Amino acid sequence: MAAAVGVEQAEAAIAEHYPRLVRLGYLVLPPALGRHRRVLTAHGLAQRALPPGRRGRRAGSVPVQRGAGRPATDPGYVYVRQRVLRGALAAGRPVRITGRGPGRLRKPPPLLPQVWGLRVFPPSGGSDELTMERALSAASAQTRAAWALIHLEEMPEPAVRELLAAVGLTESEARAAVQAAQRLPAGSVPDPCSLRARPADLLRRRQFTRGGLVAGAVALALVTGMALARPDGGGAGRSAVELAADPALLTRGEPAAWRDAARLDFSVWPARGPAVKDTELLGRALDTWAEPGGNVQVSATPGTHTGPPAGSPQLLYAGEQEGVSLVMLHDGHRLVRYAEAGDAAALDFARTDGADAAGAAAVVLHRGEGTVQYLLAPWVTAAGVRDLTAPDAAAEPLETDEDGVTAPLATPAGRPECTDFPVLELLPDPAAHGGGAPAGELPFVLADLGELTPALLTFGAPHTGPGQPLPEDGREVWARTACLLPSVAGGGVRTVNSWEFARQPLPQGGGTASWVCTRAETWRGAGSRAMTQFQAPPGGEVAAGSPGAVTASAESTAACGPRAPEVLGGVLWRSPESTWFVLAAGSEGVTAIRAEGEVTGETGPARGDGGGGEGGAGQAPEAGRMLVLPAREGVSVELTAELADGSTLGVLT
C-alpha cells in the first residue's frame, strides 16, 4: 500500500510542480544541445521522473507524504526533483560508441515529447536574462545544477551538496560546484514551458522535393533522348546553406601550399585520408553539420558557435579509425569533427581563430580506451611522446602514417589519478619558422586536456614576450605542474604558460623553494585562468616530483600575463624542525611585501626588518620581494605588495 501511495504522490508532485522540474532540467542540460533539443529533453525528463516499473516495486521506494504540498517539504517532489537532476547530469556525461568511439559522444535519453516540422524554444528575454544565460552556458553542468538549486530551489548550501552527492558527484565535486555557483550572478532565466515555434526542415524538404522533380526529369530525358544540362554549372539559384552542404564544393588545400603561405594555420592544411573522395560520407557529415538530427551528439568548447558554415568549408581529413568513420572540417574560425559508428554520430566544435604554426600543429582525430590519435600539420617533420613529470627522460619516437595520423598514444585526459603525464612533442620543418614557428631546435609541446585541440605548453616570464617551447629549466618546473593541468580542462584552453617568478631560501635548512605562476589562455580570449604555486624542495613530507602546492587562483583575470606580469604569492609552511612560517615572494617588480592579520610584518630595501622580515636597510634588492615571518599553524594573514611605481598588489583572487 505504501508503494501505491508513493507513486500517486510522485505523480501529484510532477503535475503540481511541472514547470519547476522542467526549468531545472533545462538549465542543467548541456547548452550544446541547442534550445530546441534542450526544451524537449527537459520536458521528457520531467514526464519520466516517476519510479521505474510500476509493478513489482518494493514498498517504500517513494517516501510517504509528510509535508504540506510545498516543494521543500513534499517528499514526492524531493524524489522526482532528484530523478530529473540525475537525468540532466547524465545527459552531459561522455559515453562511447560500442566501447571504441571518440569518447565524447553524449546521448540524451530518447524521451517524449517529440516534435516534427517545428523548432520550439523559449522566447528571448531582456539583457539581464541574456547575460545570465551566457554565464550559465560557460559553466559546467555541476555548477549550473548548484546554481539552480541555490537560486531557484532556494536550498541551503549543505542541502545542495548533499543532493549533488546523491545524484553521483563526489564530495569534492559537489563542494567545488557550490563554490563556482556562488561566483555566478543571480538573475532571471528562460522559461522552457513558455515557448515559441518556428518551421524547421524547410531546406531539407525543398531538397527532397527538388530531388523528386529532378529524378522525374531525368526519367523523361531518358525516354525522349534529351540531355539535361545546366549552363550555370549547378550553382545558380542555390542558397548558401545548400552550397555549403555540397561535398563537391568542399575546399581542398594542396600538399605544399603551406610552404609559400604568409601565415601557417589550418587554412593551409591539405585534404588527407583514404576517404577524401567518399562523397556519401562527406555528404552525411555536411548534412549533419547543417542540421543535426536526434541521434547526433553535439559538443563544443566554450564560446564556440555550433551553427552551420557560412560557405563551403575546407576538408582536412576523411577516413576511419578503429571502426569509426571520421571527417575533419574547417570553416575559417572553427574546427569541426564528424564521427559516426553504426546509427550513432557526433559533432565536435572548437574555436581556432587566430591559430599560428604551433596552435595549428595538431588536432585530436580519434579517442580510444585511454588513448588518443592526432592529425598533424604538414609542416611537422617528427613526433614524439614525453612524460612531462619525468624531466630527465628522453622523448620516445611516435609513428605517423602518410596522412599525418599518429599511432595511438596514452592520454592523461579523464584519468582519476595522475601518475604520469604523456605529452606530444612535435618538431617543425625549418621552413615553418617564418610562418610563426619559433626558431631553434626545441619542439612544440602539446597536452591533451580532453578537447578537440590540444593545449600548447610554454615557459617564460610574460614581460619578456610569449612563452617559448620548454627549455631544460622549464621542464623541471613543468614536471611539478603537470598534474595540475586537469584543473584548467574543459575551458577551450589554447596555451598554458608557466614561469618561475622567484626562488626563495627557506629558514632552518629547508633548502630553496620555487614560486611559479601558471596561466591558461583560451581561444575565445575570455575565461583565462591563473594560479600561483609553491614548489618546496623534496625532503620530509615533500616527495620528489610531487605537484606544487597551489597557493591562489583566479579566473577571467589578466594576472600573470603580458598585461599584468607582476605577481605575489604566499603560503603557511612548516620547516624540517616543525616550526611554522609565513612565506611570501613577489616577481621582479615587487619592492616590498606587507603581512597583516594574525601575523604582521613587512620587508623592503628601505624599511628595515619590519618585525620579522629578513634583511634591513642596505640589503640586496631581491630581499624586498622575499618575506619570512615566524607563525603558528592555522593563522590567517593578508598579504600585499608594493610595486616600483607605488601601486599595490595582492595575491590572486
User: What is the DSSP annotation of 8-69?
Assistant: HHHHHHHHHSHHHHHHHHHHHS-GGG-HHHHHHHHHHHHHT-SPS-SSSPPTTSSPPP-S-S
Question: What's the confidence (pLDDT) of residue 461?
Answer: 92
pTM (global) more than 0.75: no
Contact 590, 604 (CB under 8 A): no
Question: What pLDDT is recorded for position 200?
Answer: 55
- Give residue 2's pLDDT band: very low, low, confident or very high (50, 70, 90): very low
Looking at per-residue pLDDT, the higher value among 114 and 501 belongs to 501
199 phi and psi, to 5 degrees? Answer: -65, 150
Q: State mean pLDDT over 324-329.
A: 97
- Angle at 582 (CA atoms; ends 576, 585), nearest 5 degrees: 105
Binning the chain into helix, strand and coil, the percentages to the nearest 5 are 30, 25, 45
Four-residue CA torsion sign, 38, 40, 41, 44: positive
Task: Report whether pLDDT(55) > 70.
Answer: no
Q: Which of 185, 139, 144, 169 is closest to 25 using CA atoms? A: 144
pLDDT category at 6 given cuts 50, 70, 90 is: low
Q: Report d(CA 614, CA 289) in Å as an integer.
A: 63
The single residue listed with the C-alpha cell 557526433 is 346
More confident residue, 402 or 545: 402
- pLDDT for 96: 43
pLDDT of 224: 34
Q: String of b and e for 530-567 (b: at least 16 CB within 10 Å)?
A: bbbbbbbeeeeebeeeebbbbbbbbbebebbbeeebbb
Of 317 and 211, the one with more pLDDT: 317
Distance CA 132, CA 140 (A): 14
Residue 77 has pLDDT above 90, yes or no: no
Under the banding of pLDDT at 50, 70 and 90, the label for residue 471 is confident
Q: What is the pLDDT of residue 172?
A: 84
User: From residue 502, how far is each of 315, 496, 531, 560, 646 by CA, in Å?
Assistant: 47, 19, 14, 13, 20
Amino acid at 332: G
Tell me the average pLDDT across 103-129.
61
Q: What pLDDT sits at residue 239?
A: 61
Predicted confidence at residue 629, as pLDDT, reads: 96
Cα(567)–Cα(558) distance, integer angstroms? 11
First CA to last CA distance, the chain: 55
Instruction: Give residue-wise pLDDT tens across range 24-39.
Output: 999 999 887 777 888 8
**Shortest CA distance to 297 belongs to which of 93, 485, 552, 1?**
93
Going from the C-alpha of 624 to that of each of 136, 242, 500, 592, 609, the distances in angstroms are 43, 66, 17, 5, 10
Query: Which pLDDT score is estimated for 68?
Result: 34
* Averaged pLDDT for residues 462-481: 84
Mean pLDDT, the chain, rounded, equals 82
What value, to the nearest 5°, has the Cα angle with vertex 150 and ends 450 and 166?
65
The identity of residue 423, as a single letter, is V
pLDDT score recorded for residue 463: 77
Q: Residue 434's closest CA among 267, 260, 257, 256?
A: 260
- Higher confidence at residue 56 or residue 121? 121
User: Does position 215 have pLDDT exceeding 80, yes or no?
Assistant: no
CA distances from 246 to 228, 243, 289, 331 (A): 20, 5, 12, 14
- Contact of 637 with 627, CB cutoff 8 Å: no
Query: Which of 436, 502, 493 lies closest to 469, judged by CA?
Result: 436
Q: Do residues 324 and 101 lie in contact, with contact meaning Cβ atoms separated by under 8 Å?
A: yes
Which three cell numbers mark 519? 596561466
pLDDT confidence of residue 71: 58
pLDDT per residue as tens digits for the range 407-449: 999 999 988 899 999 999 999 998 886 666 665 667 899 999 9
Share of the chain above pLDDT 70, in %: 79
What mean pLDDT comes out for the span 277-286? 94
For residue 296, report the phi and psi dihedrals to the nearest 5 degrees. -105, 125
Query: Which cell numbers in the block locate residue 452?
Result: 578537440
